[in-house]
Amino acid sequence: MPLSATRQARLENGLPKIEITLPEVGVQVAPETYFDGTHSDFWLEIGFGKGEHLAALAAAHPEIGMIGSEPFLNGVSGLVDLVVEGNLPNVRVFKDDARLLMDSLPEASIGRAFILFPDPWPKARHHKRRMVSAGNIAVLSRILKDGAELRIGTDHMEYCRWIMAHMLASADFVWQCDNPADWRNRPDDWPSSRYEIKSREAGRVSSYLRFIRRPRSL
């Protein structure tokens, strides 16, 4: 759906102040380059939808530089509105495929990453489009710092099994789980996203998966 004239104007005014543009392919850029030098760490959200989760974290953690990637223009517009309304100077947006952004980030440069309710692509012939894949897990492993947390949420049972199988197959990540409550309940510091709320209202059950990037030296 095209943006209304008002939203288009707000996007054109707000986006250039927070938009990330990438260097040429093959060149890596440290995340601090995109901020003003006052942030202690940098977190990355892949596919932020309309940005509720990202904006809530940015408000709760002004010390963190929050980077979000989302190719859906309506979603980018939603986040730009939240950034303006919430006066959030610590948000940057890449309005394209997160894989391009991740490729441009240096090794061990991101302190936390989020993939919330990624498109499940339920048909087998579309599984190769899934964001959680061996290739993307390897990229996340490269850009995440030692001990960094990767959070993945989903309400799709089969994709959840796929995510677990792929994550547990990686030697670089450890699942943070002592008991079922650890994945059945959304942690207090994990703000809701639009998709999660819609899913809950529709009566679906979500899984909240947390993985830690193993230290490289061990």
Stretch that binds ligand SAM, among 80-88, 111-119, 141-149, 206-214 (CB under 6 A): 111-119
| Contact between 46 and ligand SAM per CB under 6 A | yes
Residue 114 token pair = 């989020």
119 is catalytic: yes
| Contact between 122 and ligand SAM per CB under 6 A | no
Cβ closest to ligand SAM, residue 99 vs residue 214: 99
* CA 127, chain centre distance (Å): 20
| Contact between 189 and ligand SAM per CB under 6 A | no
- Judge contact between 170 and 136, C-beta under 8 A: no
| Contact between 191 and ligand SAM per CB under 6 A | no
Please report the DSSP string for 125-141 in residue order. GGGGG-SSSHHHHHHHH
From 81, 97, 119, 172, the catalytic residue: 119
Q: How far apart are CA 89 and CA 92, in angstroms?
A: 8
Sign of CA dihedral 59, 60, 66, 72: negative
| Contact between 183 and ligand SAM per CB under 6 A | no
List 61, 145, 194, 200, residue binding ligand SAM (CB under 6 A): 194
Burial class of residue 41, CB neighbours in 10 A (0-12, 13-18, 19+): middle
| Contact between 71 and ligand SAM per CB under 6 A | yes
Q: How far apart are CA 124 and CA 92, in angstroms?
A: 34
Mask for 1-40, x = binds ligand SAM (CB under 6 A): ----------------------------------------
Cβ closest to ligand SAM, residue 122 vs residue 147: 122
Q: Which amino acid is at 205?
A: V
Q: How far is the CB of 215 from ligand SAM (least distance, A)?
A: 28
Of 64, 22, 62, which Cα lies nearest the Cα of 43?
64
List 12, 107, 119, 146, residue binding ligand SAM (CB under 6 A): 119
User: What are residue 115's DSSP bridge partners?
Assistant: 46, 152
Residue 42 token pair = 């940098």
Size of the site for ligand SAM (CB under 6 A): 21
Which parts of this chain interact with ligand SAM (CB under 6 A)?
46-49, 69-72, 75, 97-99, 116-119, 131, 193-196
